[in-house]
Amino acid sequence: YVQKEGLYSYKYAVNLVNRLHRNRDIKVLVAEDSAVTRWFVADLLRRHRFQIVEAENGKQALEAVLADDSIDILLTDYNMPVMDGFQLIHALRNKHEKVDLVIIGLSSADDKYLSGKFIKNGADDFLYKPFSHEEFFCRIMHAVASMERTRELHRLAYTDPLTGLHNRRYFMEQARKLITKADAPESALSLAMLDIDHFKHINDNYGHDAGDLVLIAFAQSLRRAFARFVVARMGGEEFCILFPGLPVDRAARLLEAVREQTEAGCVDTPAGSLSFTFSAGLVERSAGSLDELLKQADMRLYTAKEQGRNRIEQ
Ligand code: GH3
Ligand code: MG
Ligand code: MG
Ligand code: MG
Ligand code: MG
């Protein structure tokens, strides 16, 4: 792999090949009214293996982004007919709350103020036209790196490291969103709070590592059974599931199947094969807040425990 300065090292070349391979998953929208510039930019991007979508003006670009959630990066010109670059960015950032989309403005070098205006309107970066290939790729790869960092940060912030399920933070955010969205009285929404029975005994008798394996196995069965719903580990051996669109009796039937399956199954650990059960409190959304709903679910869970465990209280 030769460049002006000489040969790249083997390690650099391998990194580059991997990078190019990953670029295949990244979709870039080029919004530019000049066919020549659009072709030039798309050609550069194609060389780095990006997926490319093109738009001839701001309106087309806006429609493309709204119709296709998989667009990761927008490269936009300022001066375009129908809708210019600033109007486009403004609509995306403010009206449609597209916060994850990386936006890079293309400014002509003869207007020194454009770059600042791009950033103020919500662009992440800008490029003066004409640009060198080197700068173009540096800017794009910088944007890709920052996009990947942000996504990784999101993943870490919303995932429980032991089980890989969503965590409490994710659950609370989603629940709050869904509860306000499902405000129409006809759209049901159920919430279940699950807690493994006598989990302390499992830790005491089989060891903490075996306890961890039980949590992982339980999380796996919840993920499989409730793939369509929001499942989260709230902490310790407590899990919550949100069932948008399901009234309690239907959510109860689904949960009951998992309760039976859990009771009948077992988990293999180095300390031996062990079985466990769980209890759950199940509620349906009424007029109250999320906190009230959680409190109610917790009370029912407490009742399920009092009444002998391994049961679902609704
Ligand atoms: P109950 O049936 O009333 O729910 O009894 P319990 O023993 O399940 O409940 P308790 O709250 O007394 O004990 C929960 C235990 O879970 C205590 C804590 O040490 C353990 N625990 C919390 N997080 C973890 C974890 O990540 N791994 C393991 N192995 N244990 C954990
Ligand atoms: Mg233009
Ligand atoms: Mg407990
Ligand atoms: Mg417990
Ligand atoms: Mg508990």
Tens-digit pLDDT profile for residues 186-224:
678 999 999 999 999 999 999 999 999 999 999 999 999
The closest of 289, 287, 229, 233 to 255, measured between CA atoms, is 229
- Percentage of the residues of the chain whose pLDDT score is greater than 90: 72
DSSP 5: T
What local confidence, expressed as pLDDT, does residue 174 receive?
93
The more confidently predicted of residues 283 and 177 is 283
Closest CA to 46 of 158, 152, 137: 137
Distance CA 216, CA 197 (A): 15
**CA of 215, closest atom in ligand 1:** 27
Please list, in sequence order, all residues whose beta carbon lies within 8 angstroms of the beta carbon of residue 4, skipping any fewer than 6 positions away.
Answer: none
Please give the distance, rounded to the nearest whole angstrom, from the Cα atom of residue 60 to the centre of ligand 3: 55
The secondary element (H helix, E strand) that includes residue 178 is helix 168-181
Ligand 1 atom, smallest distance to 309 CA: 2
Q: Which residues are catalytic?
A: 237
Q: Which of 200, 205, 239, 313 to probe ligand 1 with, by most ligand atoms within 8 A of CB? A: 200
Ligand 1, residue 201: give the atom nearest the CA: 7
Q: What is the pLDDT of residue 4?
A: 55
**Nearest listed ligand to the Cα of residue 200:** 1
Residue 126, helix vs strand vs coil = strand
The DSSP call for residue 92 is: I
- For residue 9, give both structure tokens: 């090292």
pLDDT tens, position by position, 226-263: 999 999 999 999 999 999 999 999 999 999 999 999 99
279-307 b/e (C-beta count within 10 Å ≥ 16 → b): bbbbbbbeeeebeebbebbeebbeebbee
Task: Label residue 19 by pLDDT band (50, 70, 90).
Answer: confident
Cα–ligand 5 centroid distance for 196 (angstroms): 7
- Which residues approach ligand 1 with their CB closer than 6 A? 162, 195-200, 203, 208, 211-212, 215, 236-237, 305, 309
In this model, does residue 165 exceed pLDDT 60?
yes
Q: Which ligand is nearest to the CA of 310?
A: 1
Pairwise CA distance, residues 79 & 63, whole Å: 18
Distance of CA 309 from the midpoint of ligand 4 (Å): 10
181's tokens:
């969205």
